[in-house]
């Protein structure tokens, strides 16, 4: 057990926001499928999985994204795999949407009476508890927050098998989405939440810096 914990901590020490990758080194198909699977298995609010992972390997599309993705000026050209994480918009995430009802019926396979109660509880959560329904962007950002759980899990899993990553928010959202629409990639009720690059580092990072546990943890006994 102690050895396993040490291995996990070493992976977290290894992980950093890699600014440039070795373009000559590629992640194997098996390793990248493993990374994607950790994203797929990630938790989400009510288990509704508001995400889609778009793996952009086409060099021409990466080149089109480059002018509107300033935070990936080195990662887009050099990373082995580049993922754009999409989040569903309000139209898909309201309680009575086709998407939510499909999740309850066909994915979760809940009986009809439980689906009805689940829908009612979820609707109250959206309208009353979190007050999300009055603002399209707030509703989108709620879904986007959940995609960051999958993002973190994929980066952590990659680090545990010696693969580097870099989460990216440095992009013009509207223009990047327009590129994806023009390429027929962004369809339906989705928007870009964040991006993440994977590959192998070309140089060692500076030592990791973080606040101490005492600075960030407040115990209430």
pLDDT at 104: 98
Contact by Cβ (8 Å): 39, 146: no
Average pLDDT on 40-67 reads 98
Phi and psi torsions of 7, nearest 5°: -60, -40
Per-residue pLDDT band for 23 (boundaries 50, 70, 90) equals: very high
Token digits of residue 177:
């989405």
Maximum Cα–Cα distance across the chain: 57
Q: Which of 85, 75, 58, 46 is nearest to 200 (CA)?
A: 75
Per-residue pLDDT band for 204 (boundaries 50, 70, 90) equals: very high
pLDDT at 171: 98
The pTM for the full model equals 0.96
Strands (E) located in the chain? 51-55, 81-88, 164-168, 190-199
Residue whose token pair is 């994607």: 36
**pLDDT tens-digit profile of 117-155?**
999 999 999 999 999 999 999 999 999 999 999 999 999
pLDDT at 221: 96
Contact by Cβ (8 Å): 82, 58: no
Contact by Cβ (8 Å): 199, 25: yes
Average pLDDT on 34-42 reads 98
**pLDDT tens-digit profile of 67-122?**
999 999 999 999 999 999 999 999 999 999 999 999 999 999 999 999 999 999 99
């Amino acid at each position: 057990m102690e050895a396993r914990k040490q291995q996990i901590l070493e992976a977290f020490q290894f992980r950093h926001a890699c600014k440039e990758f070795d373009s000559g080194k590629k992640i194997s198909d098996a390793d990248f499928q493993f990374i994607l699977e950790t994203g797929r298995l990630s938790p989400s609010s009510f288990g509704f999985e508001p995400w889609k992972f778009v793996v952009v390997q086409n060099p021409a599309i990466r080149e089109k994204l480059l002018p509107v993705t300033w935070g990936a000026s080195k990662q887009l050209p050099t990373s082995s795999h580049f993922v754009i994480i999409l989040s569903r918009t309000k139209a898909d995430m309201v309680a009575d949407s086709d998407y939510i009802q499909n999740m309850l019926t066909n994915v979760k396979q809940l009986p009809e009476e439980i689906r009805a109660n689940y829908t009612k509880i979820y609707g109250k959560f959206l309208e009353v508890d979190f007050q999300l329904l009055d603002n399209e962007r707030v509703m989108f950002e709620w879904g986007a927050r959940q995609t960051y759980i999958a993002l973190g899990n994929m980066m952590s899993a990659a680090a545990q098998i010696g693969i580097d990553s870099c989460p990216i928010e440095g992009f013009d959202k509207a223009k990047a989405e327009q590129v994806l629409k023009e390429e027929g990639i962004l369809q339906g009720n989705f928007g870009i939440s964040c991006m993440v690059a994977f590959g192998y580092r070309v140089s060692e990072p500076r030592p990791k810096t973080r606040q101490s546990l005492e600075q960030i943890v407040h115990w209430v006994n």
